[in-house]
Amino acid sequence: MIDRADSVGIVTPEKATFTEPLTLQCGVTLPGFELVYETYGELNDTKTNAVLICHALSGDHHAAGFHHDDDAKPGWWDACIGPGKPIDSNRFHVVSLNNLGGCSGSTGPRTVDPTTGERFGPNFPTVTVRDWVKTQAMLADHLGIERFAAVIGGSLGGMQALQWTIDQPDRVEHAIVIAAAPKLSAQNIAFNEIARQAILSDPDFVEGEYLEHEMNPDKGLMLARMLGHVTYLSNDSMGDRFGRELKSGDIASARDVQFQVESYLHYQGTTFSKRFDANTYLLMTRALDYFDPTLEFDGDLVETFRQAKAKFLVLSFTTDWRFSPERSREIVDALIASRLDVASATIEAANGHDSFLLPIPRYFDVLGAYLDRVAAER
């Protein structure tokens, strides 16, 4: 049995169906779509206590609690969301969805395209962070939420929170942007491209039609995840965790050597390839690469944020080299220059980009204190 003392407990995903055609940023129109989502905590009478959780590359709607009594693990951000936790379900009505193009129940590559009667597969249209904000706003309409008290996300989720303040300035009071960047660097794009190539060059990818062939690009997805994982961790945290500990063999005779870190990455990669859809992985990494809210503002981030009305909390972690504190500072500087209300902190943390998922005391103190203030305004 699960100890639910500080958990939202058993949750049941729900589905919202949108029957009107949706034209995406790429120009393609979907005849309609579905979004799967969960909520934690009650919406208050004035409907002013809703917060939206935006997920990152490999996340989904299941952010907190458990689906079944015998679940081994809770949702991906359970450490942060729940009664008495920084995102307090006693005070907020928390909405968490699987984004359009995902593989956990929302319309995506695994969905049957009603116009062809076949799965979208590799033909699912390109989706962008702007498309996600647009469809998240439609979900808010569906739920009767006019305005979010806060939109919150880490990594790619933080980019969605930023885009909300630009595209839906009247519908977001606070944006909490964690371990994000105003756009990807060439190095970020390069790592994503290697992950994509690993998937594309796996013969079991079958040009994206693997499900039709009852196959799965396990090895490509494994490589993509291994690579992602190394870039999420810091050099120091990997050293502390694995050092040069051997799993097997003997370095002195250079025989059959396997290091613990290799074994760990294999496990991570293999587990991921069983649960995640390759076409979705490609689509998510492209959304990351293409993200650039300044495109319609001549590349000027300050000008871009002039649309925004929200108040901001921007958080970063000292050892995060994927989206380093410098990248968060770019966001903060632009927000200040745009005369917006910004709080920010760089948290000492050993765990690299992954820190945003971990219950680091100062991180949770800062986040919790900020959200206390947001709750007090309700």
Give me the 139-178 binding string for its own copies, x by CB under 8 A, dash otherwise.
----------------------------------------
Dig out the tokens for 251 from the structure. Answer: 């370095």
Q: Which residue has the tokens 């206390």?
A: 372
Residue choice 143, 189, 211, 337 for contact with its own copies (CB under 8 A):
189
Which of these segments, 44-52, 137-145, 148-156, 199-207, binds its own copies (CB under 8 A)?
Answer: 199-207
Active site residue 155: yes
What residues from 240 to 269 belong to the interface with its own copies (CB under 8 A)?
241-244, 251-255, 257, 259-262, 265-266
Compute the distance between CA of residue 313 and CA of residue 347 in angstroms, rounded to an integer.
13
User: Buried b / exposed e across 180-189, counting CB within 10 Å, b at 16+?
Assistant: bbbbbeeebe
Contact status: 277 vs its own copies (CB under 8 A): no
- Nearest to its own copies of 63, 283 (CB atom): 283
Compute the distance between CA of residue 102 and CA of residue 284 in angstroms, rounded to an integer.
8
Q: How far is the CB of 195 from its own copies (least distance, A)?
A: 10
Q: How far is the CB of 122 from its own copies (least distance, A)?
A: 14
Active site residue 201: no
Specify whether the CB–CB gap between 65 and 82 falls below 8 A: yes
- In order, the DSSP letters of 43-108 are PPTTS--EEEEE--TT--S--SSBSSTT-SS--TTTTTEETTSSEETTT-EEEEEPPTT-SSSSSS
Q: How far is the CB of 179 from its own copies (least distance, A)?
A: 16
Contact status: 353 vs its own copies (CB under 8 A): no
Out of 155, 273, 344, 355, the active site residue is 155
Contact status: 296 vs its own copies (CB under 8 A): yes
Contact status: 202 vs its own copies (CB under 8 A): yes
Contact status: 346 vs its own copies (CB under 8 A): no
Which of these segments, 12-20, 46-54, 60-68, 225-233, binds its own copies (CB under 8 A)?
Answer: 225-233
Compute the distance between CA of residue 337 and CA of residue 212 in angstroms, rounded to an integer.
52
Q: What are phi and psi of 160, to 5 degrees?
A: -65, -40
Active site residue 320: yes
- In order, the DSSP letters of 46-58 are TS--EEEEE--TT
Which of these segments, 47-55, 116-124, 217-225, 304-312, binds its own copies (CB under 8 A)?
Answer: 217-225
Contact status: 295 vs its own copies (CB under 8 A): yes
Strand partners, 81: 87
Q: How far is the CB of 101 from its own copies (least distance, A)?
A: 12
Specify whether the CB–CB gap between 99 and 124 falls below 8 A: no
Cβ within 8 Å of residue 247, ≥6 positions away? 258, 259, 260, 262, 263
Q: Is 253 helix (H, G, I), strand (E, B) or coil?
A: helix
What residues from 98 to 127 belong to the interface with its own copies (CB under 8 A)?
126-127
Residues tagged active-site: 155, 320, 353
Residues that bind its own copies in the complex, under the rule CB under 8 A: 24-27, 126-128, 183-187, 189-191, 193-194, 197-198, 201-203, 219-220, 222-223, 226-227, 230, 233, 235, 238-239, 241-244, 251-255, 257, 259-262, 265-266, 286, 289-290, 292, 295-296, 321
